[in-house]
Amino acid sequence: MDRLNLGRILLIDDDAGVLNAMKTRLEAAGYQCLVAHSGDEGLVQGSLGDLDLVITDLQMPGLGGLGVIRMIRSLSDVPVIVVTGYARQFREEAERCSGVTVLAKPFESEALLELVETELALRPTS
């Protein structure tokens, strides 16, 4: 498989450091990444084309991760990974949404990469 065509991932996080670290790691592994610094920006980015996966933070100013998940679910069954420092507080609520997996911050880049690979492998192909 072409290393530059492993999947298209939308990354949403208001923390520029976390966002850049995820983008760098995932692009080095061969994924194409779109980035957004807010939930609202993420929904606009997500409407630009087909996505294979969305990775979003939960706690963000404006539209938070749960709002992003609800909007995505109204349009698509794309898998979603929620990265959050509030995993205990929000895990139940996030996991009630179908196709959502929670990854607690801080996380190792290898844990993120493994979870991305797992989620994309589970996605039905057309």
pLDDT at position 74 is: 86
pLDDT at position 12 is: 96
Q: Is 123 contained in some domain?
A: no
Residue numbers in the chain where pLDDT is lower than 70: 1-5, 48-49, 87-91, 94-95, 124-126
Residue span of the structural domain in which 89 resides: 8-113
Q: Is 57 contained in some domain?
A: yes
57: domain CATH number is 3.40.50.2300
Q: Model-level pTM?
A: 0.88
Q: Which of 81, 74, 29 is nearest to 52 (CA)?
A: 81
User: What DSSP string describes 99-119?
Assistant: TEEEEESS--HHHHHHHHHHH
Instruction: Indicate the number of domains in the chain.
Output: 1
User: How wide is the angle at C-alpha 63 spanned by C-alphas 98 and 89, nearest 5°?
Assistant: 60
End-to-end CA distance of the chain: 17
- Look at the block and give the residue holding tokens 């949404």: 97
The neighbour count for residue 16, using CB atoms within 10 Å, is 10
Q: Is 120 contained in some domain?
A: no
Pairing of strands 53-57, 80-84: parallel
How far lies 28's CA from each of 22, 77, 113, 118, in Å? 10, 26, 10, 17
Q: Is 41 contained in some domain?
A: yes
Q: Is 72 contained in some domain?
A: yes
Q: Exposed (0-12), middle (13-18) or buried (19+): which is 91, by Cβ within 10 Å? A: middle
Q: Is 118 contained in some domain?
A: no
Q: Is 99 contained in some domain?
A: yes
Tokens of 116: 């991305």
pLDDT at position 97 is: 74
* Cis-peptide, bond into residue 106, ω within 30° of zero: yes
Q: Is 67 contained in some domain?
A: yes
